[in-house]
Structure 1
Amino acid sequence: MSRHSPAVSDRTGNLRFPGSKEMNAMPSLAEVVDVVIGVDTHKHTHTAAVVDASTGGLLAELTAPTDPGGYQQLLDLARQHGARAWALEGAGGYGAGLARHLVAAGEQVIELDRPARAPRRHGAKSDSLDAARAAREALGRSHLAQVKSDGPRAQLAALMAARRSAVEAATLAQRQLHALVIAAPETLRAMFRGQSTTAMTTTATRLRTRASWDAHTVTTATVLRALARRTTALQREARDHEHAMATIVRAWRPDLLEQPGIGTIVAAQVLICWSHPGRIRSEAAFAMLAGTAPIPASSGLRTRHRLNRSGDRQLNRALHVVALSRTRYDERTSDYVERRRAQGKTDREIRRCLKRYIARDLFRQLEHGALPA
């Protein structure tokens, strides 16, 4: 029997231990588990390495297929040891199936969101070495986020990916339609002259070939109609996905939709990146994730900050949309923009400041509920 008390998960999804009141007061992972099982996840196989929590030594390893039978093999290996935690990189990708299996079995699963890439000794690399590195990195981290079971975040992520794909494909089809109209025979060009892209799509959807047209005109009309119908179908698909996301957001966090400049798509993207309370350790970490944390770019007596191009660019884009919307339609934001302009700030610098403030307010609301008006 293990000499350690088992770790438990608090409502925030962080690993908490008996006697600890807050994250900063928590003992290290090595003090509460006997082993950490690191897993190097791949499409067809997963490799697990059991590492002693006290010494960091490798105790056992196993490679298993990525199916329920393989997941159970890994779990059986882990159960041969005492108090344990799992460390998975890619828990939302190749490791998603294993993570679900482990969570359902009551295991403690740590999500390694961005593991450090330390130089390998003599360039050595293998699945078992990577799995052991994952376990040792979990032992060295001060903040541990537990993998959550599937829920509204997973649904939003799937819908967002499908909607984004549909929007991109619809945009491409519209561009192809527009380019084809420009090069079309005059008989067809005359039908579209002076129309917007949206109107062109409607006109092309209703195109009918005529017996008097030559083969080139008939073929062009047929392709235009196909592109228009493809565009319409993809736009309808994107709307359906957005409606489904709206239903989930309203049921999960309707308070986000009450904030100025935040609609369904922005709220969904923010929730996908945030996931659950405690996953992101602080407001500053959320700002860094969003790519809104300022990067010093000072020189001499001039103090400046430059654009942060790292982080989750989809989340950054969502905050950008909020900043633009509030600049136009929110009186307090408009007043702030004018004050900063009077101080000599450029619009780009002001927008960076706005996005940083928006990230701060959103994180506080996500972690603690709706902010007072």
Structure 2
Amino acid sequence: MSMLADLVEVVIGVDTHKDTHTAALLDARSGGVLARATVGADPDGYAELVALAGQHSGLRAWALEGSGGYGAGLARHLADAGELVVELDRPVRPARRGGAKSDPIDAERAARDALARTRLAQPKTGPERAALQARLTARRAAVEASATAQRQLHALVITSPEVVRARFRGQSTRLMLATAARLRPTTTADVEVFTCLTVLRDLARRVRFLEAEAAEHEKAIRGIVRSWRPDLLQLTGVGPIVAATVLTAWSHPGRCRNDAAFAMLAGAAPIPASSGKTVRYRLNRSGNRQLNRALHTVVLTRLQRDERTRAYADRRRTQGRTDREIKRCLTRYVARELFRRLENPPHPLDAS
């Protein structure tokens, strides 16, 4: 595959921040800096950057840091303008001598990093993907906050006076929440008892509110997935949350060049770690960890409910494979299956 330097004449590296973006324009052939600019992170600033790039003739490409975060607005603006954008979430940066760092330096480094690349990542795009990402983020926050409140409720029950603790003894978490939600503290009680009962009731109500919020987000996620890619929900082990996680990471056809790249994105591709006569692979701990977790969820579900998967696991055990190794193989298989389904969706007439 050709390097980016062989495809374009100008590369614009952009160091993105909340309020400003700093760009460095580099000549792809000589590597020289043609121009630098810092603009506001708003439509006027985006237009100013495009106008600056237009002053230099030839094909050009943009290398953005954080195209899914601070650079999301600029990435959308450039996509609407038909510009070539390369995603650089974590550019390779050389060691800074003497602590040298500045936005122009980082922008120039981003451009040089893009020039050396042969595998160009495209930014995530699409309104459905953006909607799913927002819903998943909000749901995850609600679920985590609910779990935190439940732990706080357990801890408070343990340290409460016996008159309070006795009401919850032997109860499961769900029963504790129901009991706490029905509490009616009275001011005639001891100040410590009154405070404990009040806080326990508030925690239980918070948990219920957060659970209702998470359920509402999941309902909306299911609706978006069904309208966008309902075929994913037909796969064993793939529910609305797993499907949404996969779709937000995949984004659109062509973003990942093949199933191996998708597996690497998911952290499901083993990494060679051989040395001398020892040939081995190590676990890949990089990549999109939410996507990795989604694939792992599919594997666990299939090991419980899918006869073919269980038969495969039994066969591999007879060959001396451990359960951990079997799950790694299955995770790689699921990544390949999902990628092929995403890149080649079934035709509507085939499903009828």
Tell me the TM-score normalized by structure 2: 0.91
Counterpart Cα distance in 1 of 2:148 and 2:181: 16
CA gap of 1:228–1:299, structure 2 versus 1, over 3 A, is same
Residue correspondences, number:
348
Select the residue among 342, 353, 361 that pairs with 2:318.
Answer: 342
Out of 43, 48, 52, the position equivalent to 1:77 is: 52
Q: Which whole-Å CA distance do the structure 2 matches of 1:67 and 1:96 have between them? A: 11
Segments of 5+ residues of structure 2 without an aligned counterpart are none
Range 357-366 or range 222-231, more displaced: 357-366
Mapped pair 1:45 → 2:10: no
Q: Is the 8 A contact 1:166 1:235 kept in 2?
A: yes
- Which one of the candidate residues 197, 200, 221 is aligned to 2:176? 200
Write the distance in 1 (CA, Å) between the matches of 2:289 and 2:77: 30
Distance 2:120 2:276 in 1: 40
When residues 171 and 279 of structure 1 are mapped into structure 2, their CA distance, relative to the original with a 3 A threshold, is same
- Calculate the aligned-residue CA RMSD, in Å: 2.4
Give yes or no for the alignment of 1:278 onto 2:254: yes
**Structure 1 CA distance, aligned partners of 2:316 and 2:295?**
19
CA contact (8 A) 2:125 2:251 kept: no
> Alignment identity in percent?
63
- 1:1-373 equivalences under 5 Å are 24=1, 29-82=4-57, 83-119=59-95, 124-147=100-123, 149-210=125-186, 212-296=188-272, 304-370=280-346
- Amino acid in structure 2 at the alignment position of 1:282: N
Secondary structure at the aligned position of 1:85 is classed as strand
Deviates more, 1:54-63 or 1:113-122: 113-122
Rounded Cα–Cα distance in structure 1 between residues aligned with 2:275 and 2:114: 38
C-alpha displacement of 1:353: 1.1
Whichever residue aligns with residue 127 of structure 1, its letter is: D
Distance in 1, Cα, partners of 2:8 & 2:278: 51
**CA 1:251–1:189 in structure 2 vs 1: closer, same or farther (change >3 Å)?**
same
Contact 2:14-2:110 at 8 Å conserved across structures: yes
Change (3 A) 1:129 1:210: closer
Shift of 1:294: 1.7
1:238 is displaced (CA, Å) by 0.8
Structure 1: runs of 5+ lacking an equivalent = 1-23
Shift of 1:139: 2.7
Tell me how far apart the structure 1 counterparts of residues 192 and 112 of structure 2 sit (CA, whole Å). Answer: 66
CA–CA separation in structure 2 for the residues paired with 1:75 and 1:203: 61
Specify whether residues 28 and 213 from structure 1 end up closer, same or farther in structure 2 by C-alpha distance, changes over 3 A only. closer
Contact 2:31 2:112 (C-alpha < 8 Å) held by counterparts: yes
Q: Which moved more, 1:189-198 or 1:86-95?
A: 189-198
Instruction: Report the 3-state secondary structure (helix = DSSP H, G, I; strand = E; otherwise coil) of the residue aligned with 2:24.
Output: strand
Q: Say which is worse superposed, 226-235 or 343-352, in terms of deviation.
A: 343-352
User: Structure 2 CA distance, aligned partners of 1:348 and 1:56?
Assistant: 47
Q: Which moved more, 1:301-310 or 1:283-292?
A: 301-310
Q: How many angstroms apart in 2 are the aligned matches of 1:225 and 1:159?
A: 28
1:110 and 1:144 in contact (8 A); partners too: yes
Judge conservation of contact 1:49–1:128 (CA < 8 Å) in 2: yes
CA deviation string 1:78-110 (max 9, x = no partner):
121223222112111111111122223333322
| TM-score normalised over the length of structure 1 | 0.86
Cα-to-partner distance string for 1:198-220 (whole Å, 9 max, x where unaligned): 11111111111246522221111
Q: Aligned partners of 1:61, 1:155: CA distance in 2, in Å? A: 34
Residue aligned with 1:216, SS: helix
Q: Separation in 1 of the partners of 2:114 and 2:277?
A: 42
In structure 2, relative to structure 1, the CA distance for the partners of 1:187 and 1:219 (3 Å cut) is same
